[in-house]
Amino acid sequence: MNAAPLPPVAPEVTATLVEHLSPRLRKRLDAAVTKLGARPAHRDGDTVTIVVDDETELRLHAPGGVVATVDDVVCGCLLAPACVHRAAAACAAPTAVPAPELADQPTRAVPEPASATDSAPPPDSVSSPEVASPAQRAAADALWSAGAAVLEAGVDGAGAVAQSALLRAAHTARLRHLPRAAGAALSVVTLLRAARAGDPSYRTADLVTALAELLGTAHRVGTAYGAELAAVRGRARRPYSPDGSLRLYGLFTEPVVTDSGHGGVRTWVATSEGRLCTVGDVAPGGAGRALGVADRAVRLGDSALTHRELGRAGLAVSGATVSPDGRLGAGKGVRAVSARGAAWTEQPLASLWETPPSEQAVRALRSTSRYADPDGGGSDLLFLDVELLGAVRESGGACLLARCEGDFPVRLAVADDNPALAHRDNLMLLATAPGTRLRIIGRLVPAPHPRLILLACSHPTGEGTIDLGLDRLRRADLPDPAAPVYPAPPQPGGTGAHSPLYLLERRVEQTVPAGRAALGMLGDVTTEARRIRRAGLPTAAGLLTALVTSAARRDRDLFGRLLPVDTDGFATSWLTAARYTAAVAESLCAAAWEPTREGPAAAPPAPDQWPERAMAKTVQG
């Protein structure tokens, strides 16, 4: 195995190296990637050297941490630069993407520059709604074709060549000012590589979401206009707009550790009107950096408060700038001084817990939706008063069960299993104290039952608050030293427990690892479609039939020869089914938090009460 991690490689570099290979070498590329990944490597400054064999070395030069040009990948073999080693190294290395926080430095909201290849609108269309340029539509079509090819082949067939096509399309889309679609394509490539490498953190559901986001965004570029087009295009840099003077009250600080190797913290604050904002510091470094940054000064004006201190104190800010999703800018004109904070039981923070849980869940769903507008704003946090019941066993491990106000159960899951962080230890310790009443802050998890990721809570003694990812509880802090582990309670007997919608969901997921051909071999699905239709879901039944029929369809010409498969038609059927199942999942999640008339045990509505027409409209949008 490589002793030193390979530096990130720019998407256009990987695509160019693969495109320059001969057809014979392209067939050997996947094997070369696997072989090269097992060779030893070492780092010397900005250069990583891979020992290909006893006589050959390959060097990746990454000034600034990223391999930015083709000339930065140098191989010493006799066939270089036309060898397979350079392309294999680029495919084995991670794809360079902007850091989550560092790429979002405060900037003034200015119009995006027009591409030199974009055609100008005709003079008589000045008052007409803005539409995508021909160059943008061409870039979106290339993304659609590359995404449809991945869906056609499945994970096993989407090797380095298919990934390079996605990287080339992503690079072109970014040049045409389509950063949202380009980012979705890079996410698909990252997940494909994780799936093919057997990464234990890979989940098929994540790749389903990424592929649906890629195909859906690429499709909408050609049909959207005006404000919708702006949302579909996305933004390469987050805009910050002036917000005057703000009085901020700290809520809590959470560690941030990403799969791309970045680490840091995000501190949540609230304005005097109850609006939520964040101050972040994330950079390459992982969990170790997250723990260290928590005790560094906040990058906001002249404030000397650390992130931990800001989570419990206050700030008075003048010249503030805020992004649409609530991130506070740290421009030169921002001034900030320390001020008194507020307890969670004092105003204005106490008002956050006064909103009914059902309303909070609906608001959070707008930002946690799989296909939500990245610039839509909003928060996915919920503020609840709960009574702890104990730990419950689940298929994925144990979680903490609590009773929310209104007497319905809520499952509290671990935010991050990284042993360097305190999430897991704190949650398991809280599970040993049933009957304890706490005020908590959690992140909504879309599920057919109430479920949160626990982030912060009031101290069990009633004094202060606990940042569950950074602070560590002690057994002496809890009133009860031990408690039994309870079996998981039965799920509500509504739609989420008995709906046969999973028959459609599993076909959508099966397509991603196996490809269209495997789905086409299922044969007749009339029985499954009839079962779904009897449950009151005719739209789902029709989508299942259309998906399988499209996968199995192979037309012939007049001479009986098989015609090429209709990859676009199959991709359209799959995308429609994926968006529909996501809409139903969000509907079930909202219904799970809705109290009933008899009591608060929120059961989802019966199948015959589902607003299928509204869901179909949501899917088409």
Domain boundary among 346, 379, 413: 346
What are the strands of the beta sheet with 47-51, ordered from one edge? Answer: 41-44, 47-51, 57-61, 73-75
Q: What confidence tens digit (pLDDT) does each residue in 408-439 have?
A: 899 999 998 888 899 999 999 998 888 899 99
Query: What pLDDT does residue 258 have?
Result: 80
Q: What confidence tens digit (pLDDT) does each residue in 75-97 have?
A: 999 888 889 999 999 999 988 87
Is 277 within the bounds of a domain? yes
- State the Cα–Cα distance between residues 51 and 41, nearest whole angstrom: 6
Is 557 within the bounds of a domain? yes
Query: What pLDDT does residue 3 have?
Result: 60
Q: What confidence tens digit (pLDDT) does each residue in 166-203 have?
A: 999 999 999 999 999 999 999 999 999 999 988 887 88
Could you report how far apart the first and last alpha carbons of the chain are, in Å?
Answer: 46
Is 106 within the bounds of a domain? no
Band the pLDDT of 468: cuts 50, 70, 90.
very high
**Which residues, at least 6 apart from 73, have a Cβ–Cβ distance to it below 8 Å?**
9, 13, 17, 58, 59, 60, 61, 67, 86, 89, 90
Query: What pLDDT does residue 98 have?
Result: 54
Q: Are residues 41 and 88 in the same domain?
A: yes
Long-range contacts of 43-48 (CB under 8 A, 24+ apart): 43/4, 46/7, 48/4, 48/5, 48/6, 48/7
Q: Are residues 457 and 419 in the same domain?
A: yes
Q: Are residues 143 and 191 in the same domain?
A: yes
Query: What pLDDT does residue 447 have?
Result: 84
Q: Are residues 418 and 393 in the same domain?
A: yes
Q: For residue 119, count other CB atoms closer than 10 A to its CB.
A: 10
Who wins on pLDDT, 232 or 108? Answer: 232
Band the pLDDT of 564: cuts 50, 70, 90.
confident
Who wins on pLDDT, 618 or 477? Answer: 477
Q: Are strands 47-51 and 437-444 parallel, antiparallel or unpaired?
A: unpaired
Query: What pLDDT does residue 373 have?
Result: 63
Q: Are strands 408-413 and 397-404 parallel, antiparallel or unpaired?
A: antiparallel
Q: Are residues 371 and 272 in the same domain?
A: no
Q: Are residues 518 and 427 in the same domain?
A: no
Q: Which two tokens stand for residue 243?
A: 């917000």
Q: Are residues 293 and 362 in the same domain?
A: no
301 within 8 A of 335, measured Cβ to Cβ: yes
| pTM across the whole model | 0.79
Least-confidence region, from 16-30, 164-178, 485-499: 485-499
Query: What pLDDT does residue 17 have?
Result: 94
Is 320 within the bounds of a domain? yes
Report the pLDDT averaged over residues 57-72. 91
Domain boundary among 324, 346, 368: 346
Report the pLDDT averaged over residues 527-549. 91
Tell me: pLDDT of 125 over 50: no
- State the Cα–Cα distance between residues 601 and 563, nearest whole angstrom: 55
Is 524 within the bounds of a domain? yes
Tell me: pLDDT of 121 over 50: no
The whole domain housing 253 covers 241-346
DSSP H helical segments within 344-388, as ranges? 357-368
Is 283 within the bounds of a domain? yes
Who wins on pLDDT, 28 or 585? Answer: 28
Instruction: Give the side-chain half-sphere CA count within 13 A for 610.
Output: 27
Query: What pLDDT does residue 143 have?
Result: 96
Reported as type and span, the H/E element at residue 283 is strand 276-284
Mean pLDDT, all residues of the chain: 83
**Residue-level length of the chain:** 621
Reported as type and span, the H/E element at residue 571 is helix 567-592
Query: What pLDDT does residue 440 have?
Result: 95
Range among 156-160, 283-287, 523-527 rated most confident: 156-160
Measured on CA atoms in the order 378, 379, 384, 389, is the torsion positive or negative?
A: positive
Q: Are residues 277 and 365 in the same domain?
A: no
Q: Are residues 541 and 606 in the same domain?
A: yes
In whole angstroms, how large is the CA radius of gyration of the chain?
A: 26
**Which residues, at least 6 apart from 357, have a Cβ–Cβ distance to it below 8 Å?**
382, 384, 404, 405, 406, 450, 593
Structural domains counted in the chain: 5
From the list 398, 159, 423, 132, the residue with the least C-alpha distance to 291 is 423
Q: What confidence tens digit (pLDDT) does each residue in 319-348 have?
A: 888 887 788 888 788 888 888 999 999 999
Q: Are residues 615 and 540 in the same domain?
A: yes
Q: Residue 284 pairs with which residues in a beta bridge?
A: 262
Rounded to an integer, what is the distance from CA 477 to the centroid of its chain?
A: 35
Is 299 within the bounds of a domain? yes
**376-402 burial string, b = 16+ CB within 10 Å, else e?**
ebbbbbbbbbbebbbbbeeeeebbbbb
> Residue 459 sits in a domain of what CATH number?
2.40.50.140
3-class DSSP assignment, residue 421 = coil
Who wins on pLDDT, 119 or 45? Answer: 45
Query: What pLDDT does residue 374 have?
Result: 60
Query: What pLDDT does residue 536 have?
Result: 86
Report the pLDDT averaged over residues 221-226. 88
Domain boundary among 27, 62, 92: 92
Q: What confidence tens digit (pLDDT) does each residue in 371-419 have?
A: 666 655 568 899 999 999 988 887 767 889 999 876 789 999 999 888 8
Tell me: pLDDT of 105 over 90: no
Q: For residue 55, count other CB atoms closer than 10 A to its CB.
A: 9
Is 88 within the bounds of a domain? yes
430 within 8 A of 485, measured Cβ to Cβ: no
**Which residues, at least 6 apart from 512, have a Cβ–Cβ distance to it below 8 Å?**
151, 154, 155, 204, 207, 208, 211
Band the pLDDT of 617: cuts 50, 70, 90.
very low
Q: Are residues 156 and 219 in the same domain?
A: yes
Q: Are residues 360 and 433 in the same domain?
A: yes
Q: Residue 589 pairs with which residues in a beta bridge?
A: none
